[in-house]
Structure 1
Amino acid sequence: MKKRDLKKTNITELKKMLEELKKELMKYNSQVSTGTPSENPGKIRAVKKTIARIKMLLQKYETQVQGGK
């Protein structure tokens, strides 16, 4: 998901999305560890990047709230 799309979503939706993506990443990691060939190896990288983007946005929102901006 693109950064500009993530900016449009609210905090509760971002948190839900983060949990879903973490579960999806866990599923992909278990497939890799068992030796099952992945359908789309690039998907793991994309999920990790999206998780990082969401965490960055959540951190930014938290600092804005704490800073009083």
Structure 2
Amino acid sequence: MAVLKNKEIIKMDEKTRTSKLKDLKMELIKANVSANKTNSKTKEIKRAIARILTFNKSEKTRKLKEK
């Protein structure tokens, strides 16, 4: 899993972000099954999920303010 940057998230459309979020959650489940302890891979996946969720939330807030 490569590092997911904010610039990459901004370029994605909503459909792509939701599919990427789904993929990351599945990858997190697989990583947790294979590792007993939290390692750097699971931490990076969690950060990427948090970035996408934060961006989605800020987009929602921005759209509501525009209305």
Once the two structures are superposed, residues 9-67 of structure 1 have per-residue CA deviations (whole angstroms, 9 ceiling, x without a partner) of 1111001000000000011111224x8xxxxx321111110000000000011112222
TM-score, scaled to structure 2: 0.81
Are 1:32 and 2:35 an aligned pair? yes
User: RMSD value over aligned CA atoms?
Assistant: 1.7
Aligned residue pairs total 63
Structure 2 stretches lacking a partner, 5+ long:
none
Cα deviation for residue 8 of structure 1 reads 1.0
Q: Distance in 2 between matches of 1:44 and 1:18?
A: 14
TM-score, scaled to structure 1: 0.79
Q: 2:22 aligns with which of 19, 26, 30?
A: 19
In structure 2, the partner of 1:38 is: none
Q: Whose radius of gyration is greater, 1 or 2?
A: 1
